[in-house]
């Protein structure tokens, strides 16, 4: 983190912003500010280079054509990849998992090369996964169930260098019957959960903030967030 300000990258919201996942950057900024940490959101569009100097990066979901644009841009402007190699946290939602993998297959059956931050590949499922998704996290430092809304047709397979974010308690996750959801590799974390994800999972938001700041965080008491979590977990039963 810079000496004065936490810089949060909102990557390609012009093409990877279909499902409101830009809210994740807002949550990170607000939770930082509530602790007295100066924070700003840096929007990176198709007109911009991708800097390697930000403290944390967030990407959202999109459709096939937008994924192609994002993949092309991130391949040409590889600042986020350099930041990830240096240990900066990256949060990838839904289609962003596919963009950051080795390759993904479109609904038309065409295979598109990805960025390669994840040892993962994605192919279409026979049926779309839509609904509440709840998982038990498999990452050290996370103990609370993760909750979100999945809306995807991609079935993601993980290679030896990647591991799942969690085990499925309710919903589909990476693939029907597969039992796992999301992907973690180094400092890069991906999930199929919308919501926005970090509004529904404050523990995960603080996990990313702690990685970005390099320091432990004081807890926040927010009863309204606790109520939201209870409501969404109850909706998945």
Closest by CA position to 85, among listed 112, 116, 113: 116
What SS3 state is found at 230?
helix
128 labeled binding residue: yes
Residue whose tokens read 């198709």: 46
Residues 6+ apart with CB under 8 A from 36: none
Closest by CA position to 12, among listed 87, 86, 115: 115
DSSP class per residue in 59-111: E----HHHHHHHHHHHHHS-HHHHHHHTT--EEEETHHHHHHSSEEE-TTS-E
Residues labelled as active-site residues: 94, 194
Asked if 102 and 121 touch (Cβ cutoff 8 Å), the reply is: yes
Closest by CA position to 61, among listed 27, 34, 33, 91: 91
Binding residues for substrate: 128
Binding residues: 128
């Amino acid at each position: 983190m810079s000496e004065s300000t936490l810089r949060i990258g909102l990557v390609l919201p012009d093409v990877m912003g279909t499902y409101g996942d830009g809210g994740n950057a807002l949550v990170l900024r607000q939770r930082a500010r509530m602790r007295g940490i100066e924070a700003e959101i840096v929007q990176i569009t198709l007109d911009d280079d991708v800097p390697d100097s930000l403290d944390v990066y967030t990407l959202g979901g999109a459709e096939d054509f937008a994924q192609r644009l994002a993949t092309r841009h991130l391949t040409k402007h590889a600042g986020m990849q350099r930041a990830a190699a240096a240990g900066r946290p990256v949060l990838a939602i839904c289609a962003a998992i596919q963009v950051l993998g080795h390759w993904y297959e479109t609904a038309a059956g065409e295979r598109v090369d990805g960025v390669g931050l994840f040892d993962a590949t994605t192919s279409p499922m026979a049926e779309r996964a839509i609904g509440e998704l709840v998982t038990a996290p498999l990452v050290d430092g996370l103990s609370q169930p993760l909750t979100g809304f999945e809306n995807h047709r991609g079935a993601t397979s993980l290679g030896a260098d990647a591991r799942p974010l969690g085990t499925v308690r309710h919903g589909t996750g990476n693939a029907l019957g597969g039992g796992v959801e999301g992907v973690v590799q180094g400092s890069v974390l991906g999930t199929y959960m919308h919501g926005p994800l970090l509004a529904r999972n404050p523990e995960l938001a603080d996990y990313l903030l702690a990685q970005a700041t390099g320091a432990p965080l004081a807890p926040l008491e927010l009863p309204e967030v606790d109520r939201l979590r209870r409501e969404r977990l109850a909706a998945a039963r």
